[in-house]
Amino acid sequence: MYSSEIDVLIPQPQNDFVETFYIKKLTQRALDYIKAGFPVHFKGPTGVGKTTLALHTAAKLDRPVVFLSGNEELNTSQLVGGLYGYNKKYLRDNFIARVLKVEESATQQWVDDRLTIACKYGFTLIYDEFNRSRPETNNVLLSILQEKILPMSRARGREGYLQVHPDFTSIFTSNPEEYAGVYRMQDALRDRMVAIELEALDENTEVAITQAKSGLNLGDCQKIVSLVRAVRGAKANQTTPTVRACIVVARVLKQKNSFRKNASAVLKQTCLDVILPEIPKEEREKVQQIVEHA
């Protein structure tokens, strides 16, 4: 029985989740692979909804979720567990008055970490941006995904292997390999997952997401999305600004009381404030013109 050794997530259906036909189909494909016993890997550039979809798919599985974020500093023992803390024992012997004898013994205790917990109790593992971790950190996944066993350190004090619970499932997300801070995934790991490539969000989905996340009216959300998409399309890197920029602009406008008085100018200025700092210097003038002439 699991007893709060680590924090787990219980994913809940989100009111502001936008479920278009495309997203419904992607979720169903992922669930089909998972039910057939395969790990699923959502691939795609930034802002296309990989993490959101991973959480949404996990919620459909109705099991607690262990969430991991890939990063360069992560090592295998932070995934699996290790020896932590001290159990201190003092033995005070003052049998003879005026003579004080103190014995101190310190023992470390093995603590299971997230990956071990997920394997042990059959939880759903979401390993977000797992290719930001070093490939050697992720090697531990190879036998989990294929042989369904997790080799354990002797320091754990029990058997050398942990049999992975039959309900254990895993969902991975990754950014493209050309992104900064991302490692090339080892072929053996790639071969153990079913990859689902996420396309750029279409305009209607971006409008629906912007509206759901901000509460701003449809007409203004359409204007914001169309402007952000125009900027995106004019840049060398056409993956940014993402729908996140649309959400930020829409939320700012939603809470700006004076917005209605000079709507178009406020909308353009807010877009520039949000977008411009992230635009490479050589492309700023072009972007400024697109926004001003919109």
Ligand X SMILES: Nc1ncnc2c1ncn2[C@@H]1O[C@H](COP(=O)(O)OP(=O)(O)OP(=O)(O)O)[C@@H](O)[C@H]1O
Q: Which residues bind Mg ion (CB under 5 A)?
A: 51
215: left (phi over 0), alpha (psi -120 to 50) or beta: left
For residue 134, the Cα-to-chain-centroid distance in whole angstroms is 16
Residue among 247, 248, 250, 279 that touches ligand X (CB under 6 A): 247
Q: Reading across the β-sheet that carries 194-197, which strands appear in turn?
A: 65-69, 124-128, 169-174, 40-43, 194-197
Helix (H, G, I), strand (E, B) or coil at 180: coil
Token output for 8: 């787990």
Q: Which residues are within 8 A (CB) of 36 and not within 5 positions of it... i.e. 6 or more apart?
A: none
Q: Which stretch binds ligand X (CB under 6 A): 64-72, 82-90, 162-170, 242-250?
A: 242-250
Q: Which is nearer to ligand X, 18 or 267 (CB)?
A: 18
Instruction: For the CB of residue 151, give the shortest distance to ligand X in the complex, in Å.
Output: 31
Q: Does 46 bind ligand X (CB under 6 A)?
A: yes
Say which entry of ligand X, Mg ion, none residue 52 contacts (CB below 5 to 8 A, set by partner kind). ligand X
Q: Which residues are within 8 A (CB) of 113 and not within 5 positions of it... i.e. 6 or more apart?
A: 6, 77, 78, 79, 80, 81, 82
Nearest CA among 180, 197, 174 for reference residue 68: 174
Q: Which is nearer to ligand X, 247 or 250 (CB)?
A: 247
| Strand pairing report for 40-43 and 194-197 | parallel
| Residue 100, number of CB atoms within 10 A of its CB | 10
Instruction: For the CB of residue 54, give the shortest distance to Mg ion in the complex, in Å.
Output: 8
Instruction: For the CB of residue 49, give the shortest distance to Mg ion in the complex, in Å.
Output: 8
Q: Does 23 bind ligand X (CB under 6 A)?
A: yes
Token output for 204: 């209607």
Instruction: For the CB of residue 114, give the shortest distance to Mg ion in the complex, in Å.
Output: 18
Nearest CA among 11, 16, 27 for reference residue 210: 16
Q: Does 52 bind ligand X (CB under 6 A)?
A: yes
The gap between the terminal CA atoms of the chain, to the nearest Å, is 59
Q: Which is nearer to ligand X, 53 or 164 (CB)?
A: 53
Site string for ligand X, 172-211 (x = CB under 6 A): ---x---------------------------------x--
Instruction: For the CB of residue 186, give the shortest distance to ligand X in the complex, in Å.
Output: 21
Q: Which residues are within 8 A (CB) of 178 and not within 5 positions of it... i.e. 6 or more apart?
A: none
Q: Does 49 bind ligand X (CB under 6 A)?
A: yes
Say which entry of Mg ion, ligand X, none residue 27 contacts (CB below 5 to 8 A, set by partner kind). none
Say which entry of Mg ion, ligand X, none residue 247 contacts (CB below 5 to 8 A, set by partner kind). ligand X
Q: Does 212 bind ligand X (CB under 6 A)?
A: yes
Instruction: For the CB of residue 103, give the shortest distance to Mg ion in the complex, in Å.
Output: 52
Q: Does 50 bind ligand X (CB under 6 A)?
A: yes
DSSP lists the bridge partners of residue 235 as: none
